[in-house]
Amino acid sequence: MLADDALYEFTGGSAPTIDELAARYRRQVAGSGRENEFWLNWIARRIDTSEAVGFVQATVVGDVADVAWLVAVPQQRQGFAREAGGMMLTWLASHGVQRCRAHIAPDHVVSARVAEALGLTRSGTTDDAGEEVWTATAPFPPPG
């Protein structure tokens, strides 16, 4: 799923090797090592086949979460990011998160549409990487 170089058009880099993925997953499982910072990662799967179609993730500090989503190229534009992202926001809110942020490349129209569908809005600021910061405050809209 992560082997398609098209996934890295907006984030840069290229598809990771199996060894690079294994190292990434070990780091994610270990967590940040910072007190009160939590890394959460979920695999998004099709309900009908259980096929992995992508993932959603959140870095939570206090009651604020930085969120992200990724869907494999063949499954894009089918609502998977919106559905999985909405379920993530619902879970985060039920665990005390009051505000979410997403960092989106300014020319990544599809990701911006997902953010809008999730109830996030442009904050008018950019991060150090030049990505637009989108925000939402709980209660977040229901998934779907």
pLDDT value of position 26: 85
**0.85 surpassed by pTM:** yes
pLDDT value of position 122: 97
Q: What is the pLDDT of residues 44-92, one digit of tens each?
A: 999 999 999 999 999 999 999 999 999 988 888 999 999 999 999 999 9
pLDDT value of position 60: 97
Burial class (CB in 10 A: 0-12, 13-18, 19+), 33: exposed
Instruction: Name the pLDDT band for 104 (thresholds 50, 70, 90).
Output: very high
pLDDT value of position 84: 95
Q: How far apart are CA 74 and CA 23, in angstroms?
A: 25
